A and B are shown apart, each in its own frame.
Chain A
Amino acid sequence: MQLRSYAEINEKISKGQVVVVTAEEVLGLVEEHGVEETARRVDVVTTGTFGPMCSSGAFLNLGHPAPRMKMARVYLNGVNAYAGLAAVDVFLGATEIPAADPANQNFPGAFNYGGAHVIEDLVAGREVLLEATAYPTDCYPRQKLETWIKLDEINEAYLYNPRNCYQNYNVAVNLSDRTIYTYMGILKANLGNANYCSAGQLSPLLKDPYYRVTGIGTRLFLGGGTGYVAWYGTQHNPAAARGENGVPRMGAGTLALIGDLKQMKAKWLRGVSYLGYGVSLQVGVGVPIPVLDVETLRYAAVRDEEIFAQVVDYSEAYPQRIAGSLGEVSYAELKSGTIVIQGREVPTAPLSSYPKAKEIAEILKSWILRGEFTLTEPVSKLPSADSGIKLNPLKVQK
């Protein structure tokens, strides 16, 4: 039974009567009043996450110099931006490193600077060095350019992240006898530590496991500004194994997100360096969940104790794509600081920040309460568990 519509929620927002709680606060309410009563009282639940999301980047239109130029090779602070688009359009990928970076030649490489850091610098309002070369044409004669740019001086700049907000993720460990350096951080030998990467009970897609209310067009908090779900993310895998509560027990759904870079804040878009691995962008995302019915609230009220992730060996199983898990642990166990794997107590680290995720959920809540942010009904659904979409490996053939 429907409790309220998007239009009714937005009307309450405009009248200042809307009831909004964070995905953490809702847990206490459900404990006290039960799911049904809480669903009647609460209009919107806000979620949040702040973690490294490699599949991120920005489209920029740099503007035309005089004479005009068909920029073919473009570097921003030494980092290559893809220019195989119209004359002065580029896409700057978060994980791109400068051509001069020794990468892992001096193992483990430090990866101090890359595309993600350029994005952070732009958003922070800092000047960025633009170097471009081109072949000349009659309409675009210029062949070389070197100048400084700033975010507010270029034309359009929007973040377009093909894969964000992974619905659940692996817990990474190392069974080998040497330290390994991964996108899940430094993993010490012989089960020295276990790194995970999800905000658990605050994480957007874990609170809407079948994408009932999060869909294409959903407005959200992105990098400190507003953004939208553009599409389902790359590697979206709604068919992943789920628990009885519907929550995936491993990496499943993903979101492609878009938003105006000029509104964003460097605090919520941070260039990060993973030793021996590379550069990534730490992205803040917060998604509002409209409590349309009791069911929505029941899903949004799932707790860390009820969300499980698979423990995967990153020394052998993961790189060699050998299926299998060393076991399953809950986010409550992960957050306790130690988990037990193969009879051993292993210390855990999150990579995705829980307190920052909470801060994002709070900010989104305050935007809604102040009437600055209204909810959008998805224009189209994301493929869900019944869609038949599966994750395909690449067959190597020649």
Chain B
Amino acid sequence: MIKRKVVLRFPASVVEYPFIYTLAKEYNVVANILKANINPRKEGRMVVELSADDKDFDAAMDFLQSRGVIVLPLEQQVNWLEDRCTQCGACTVICPTEALWMKRPEMTVSFNGEKCVVCEHCLKACPARAVEALYLSGE
């Protein structure tokens, strides 16, 4: 079983093809869409978490690449700007995975990128705008 977060870049020519449907139907790949920016006739990009059996996963990757979709590994998605953080804690009850968490009794907030699922709830929940979305994917 493979579970991996990736960035998919769709050239404008294929952006209207139902990739997610095909992944599920033909390749048994479950795609959990974390962020998508798809517009008709423009290059699109999508952050997805893909899970599938190893063989299905490889076949799905071949299929995507054959269609011109660029698959990039997602290295780090959300960047916590420690200098901007006022340690207010507002994000810690919003973050679903405790990636942003509070050490007690010190009450200091830190970020654990490994736990982050890029839901981006914290982006607007942070009053100090101390979290930003970054797509580091060799782009």
Contact = CB atoms under 8 A, between A and B. Distances in A.
Interface residues of A, number: 32
A354 B128 contact: no
Given A110-B124, A356-B86, A349 B93 contact: yes
B14 interface: no
Given A348-B93, A350-B107, A272 B86 contact: yes
A355 B107 contact: yes
A346 B93 CA distance: 10
Interface string B105-139: 11110000000000000001101110000000000
B88 A351 contact: yes
Contacts of B106: 354-355
A195 B90 CA distance: 8
Interface residues of B, number: 20
A351 B107 contact: no
Nearest to A279: B127
A275 B125 contact: yes
B129 A351 contact: no
A273 B102 CA distance: 21
Contacts of A356: 86-87
A185 B90 contact: yes
Interface of B: 86-94, 102, 104-108, 124-125, 127-129
29 contacts: A50-B86, A108-B124, A185-B125, A186-B90, A186-B94, A188-B93, A192-B93, A193-B94, A195-B90, A195-B93, A272-B86, A272-B128, A273-B129, A275-B125, A280-B127, A282-B128, A349-B89, A349-B93, A350-B88, A350-B89, A351-B89, A351-B90, A353-B86, A353-B87, A353-B89, A353-B107, A354-B107, A355-B106, A355-B108
Given A336-B104, A351-B89, 14 more contacts: A110-B124, A185-B90, A186-B125, A193-B94, A195-B90, A272-B86, A275-B124, A275-B125, A282-B127, A349-B88, A350-B89, A352-B88, A354-B87, A356-B87
Interface of A: 50-52, 108, 110, 112, 185-186, 188, 192-193, 195, 270, 272-275, 280, 282, 335-337, 347-356
